[in-house]
Amino acid sequence: MSTSKVTYLGNLRTECEHLKSGNTYITDAPIDNNGKGEAFSPTDTVATGLANCMFTIMGIKAKDLGVDLTASTALVTKTMATDPRRISKIEVVFSLPEIVKPKNKAILENAAIRCPVYHSLHPDIEKIISFNWGDPAKYAQ
């Protein structure tokens, strides 16, 4: 069974549908590549998918540990290279609650690095991951 359906809407925009749930989102080409930059670009979704996946795996482990990661955030910065145009670096800065025990912090960080997207990205993509344990609102900018 297919996972998703992507429809080209014209003007460098696509609509992406998750077939099981019916949820959708759009993508636009970025401003620096002939687009309007009015939505996530395809490479934005790849970079953001890394943080999504890491949070999902941490969330599974956090549940097992009795740790609540609600309201935690991750800021994602994607860097592009040319010739060929590609993602060269993804930086993810996590902001997580300070009340987590040191042992559990290490377990959660290790779980995050084991996420499938992290290991599916091309090895030439530099991945810089930071975990800030403290008030999530402090790092949300």
Residue 90's DSSP bridge partners are: 78, 127
> Residue 10 pairs with which residues in a beta bridge?
13
H helix intervals, 1-141: 42-65, 102-113, 116-120
Least Cα distance to 69 among 45, 91, 50, 51 occurs for 51
Average pLDDT over residues 38-46: 96
pLDDT in tens, 69-86: 999 999 999 999 999 999
Question: What range does the domain containing 53 cover?
Answer: 42-139
CA–CA gap between residue 141 and residue 136 (Å, rounded): 10
Nearest to 39, CA basis, from 75, 65, 13: 13
What is the tens place of the pLDDT at every residue in 102-133?
999 999 999 999 999 999 999 999 999 999 99
Asked if residue 101 and residue 61 are part of one domain, the reply reads yes
Same domain, 29 and 46: no
pLDDT of residue 139: 47
- pTM metric for this prediction: 0.91
Measure the CA angle with vertex 128, ends 101 and 29; round to 5°.
Answer: 125
Q: What is the pLDDT of residue 134?
A: 87
For residue 136, pLDDT beyond 80: no
Residues 13 and 76 in one domain: no
